[in-house]
Structure 1
Amino acid sequence: MRRDLERDGRLHAGTAAWMWTGYAAHAALLTTALARRPTSPPLPAPARAAALALTGAGSALLLAGFRRFAGPAQLTGTDAGPLVTGGAYRYSRNPQYTGAVAALTGAAAARRSPTALALTAALAAVYRAWVPTEERHLTHHFGAPYRDYHTRTPRWLGRPTVVDPWPTPA
């Protein structure tokens, strides 16, 4: 993936297919882990409600990130498309990654599944390692507009920084 972006400025279809195959394999492992009967007692109702709320909020953030893309080519990284800075991307430069990790953490906690939690931690580590490469590519591709967006929007989640369009001269 890194080589595709650095050499050609986009992911090749074959690379994207391998990436999505990895996602599918991870999803299959996670589904299996979450389907197992918990070996420990169920969570107390308030903790279970909090875990399910995290799952719902993460899922909503993930879907809100997906909605902003122009089509499958932009979603897979085979076509950069326009710079997306609105909607969920106003609060996170990576709402899909953040939402996926939050949703899966909530589901793992609700099911009391250490295996699902470990798989979620592995996915978070992959995202953490990948994002700097993605950000270098976006900086190269979009230039100043992306640098401005990068400066005012948190990588994972938070309040956007308001940038004064008319700063006072020093």
Structure 2
Amino acid sequence: MLFALPFSFLPPDWPWFYQQLTSSSRVFGAIIVSMGCVLSFGTMLSFGLKKAFGLETSSLVRSSVYNISRNPQIVGGWFMVIGISVQFPSFHSIAWVVASIIVFHLMVLSEEEHLIDVFGTKYKEYAVQVPRYLFFF
């Protein structure tokens, strides 16, 4: 299903609107999508599905990938969106990337408010030590 998603926003094959795909862009895009899947779904499975969906909030997880990013599932989601956009480049795919960045960021901001309410100072200390997404960002 994930690979069928781009077809929902791709325009007709107009030469001025849609760049022809090369095999290298398809392979590169597939690698990025695969990295995103491993990061997102691997994190969810290692984290535990109850915690991944906010059903269990007994402790703050700071191990594994959560030492590098506070939101590895979101980073993985961005990799998937960007990878599909590399595979199927168009103006629509660029809009999809921008929209996903905005929506995911707003989601993270609301989640952080909740985590501050639940964990208080522990989460604030964690937020100072670990970047929201990756590296300095």
TM-score of the superposed pair, with normalisation by structure 2: 0.75
Deviation, 1:30, is 3.3
**Aligned equivalent of 1:139, options 116, 121, 126:** 116
Q: Give me the identity figure in percent.
A: 25
Equivalent residue runs for 1:147-162 within 5 Å: 147-158=124-135
- Larger Rg computed on CA atoms: 1
Q: Which amino acid aligns with 1:71?
A: L
1:85: which partner in 2?
62
Structure 1, gaps ≥5 residues long: 1-26, 160-170
Bigger drift between 99-108 and 75-84 goes to 75-84
Please say if 1:100 is aligned against 2:77: yes
Letter in 2 for 1:43: T
Shift of the alpha carbon at 1:139? 1.8
State the aligned residue count. 131
Distance 1:50 1:149, change over 3 A: same
**Would you say the 8 A contact 2:11–2:92 is kept in 1?**
no
- Is there any run of 5+ residues in structure 2 with no aligned partner, and where? none
The one-letter amino acid of 1:52's match is A
Give how far 1:36 is off.
7.5
Q: Which has the higher contact order (CA 8 A, sep 6+)?
A: 2
Q: Which runs of 4+ in 1 moved over 4 A?
A: 34-39
Secondary structure of 2:73's aligned partner: helix
Q: In structure 2, what is the equivalent of residue 55 of structure 1?
A: 33
What's 1:33 paired with? 8
The C-alpha deviation readout for 1:96-154, integer Å capped at 9, x for no partner, is 11110111111111122432342232122111122222112212211232222111111
1:68 aligns with 2:46: yes
Instruction: Give secondary structure in 2 for the equivalent of 1:93.
Output: coil
Alignment match, 1:124: 101
Is contact 1:108–1:117 with CA below 8 Å preserved after alignment? yes
Paired AA for residue 42 in structure 1 = L
Give RMSD over aligned pairs.
Answer: 2.9
What's the secondary structure of 1:40's corresponding residue?
Answer: coil
Shift of 1:53: 2.4
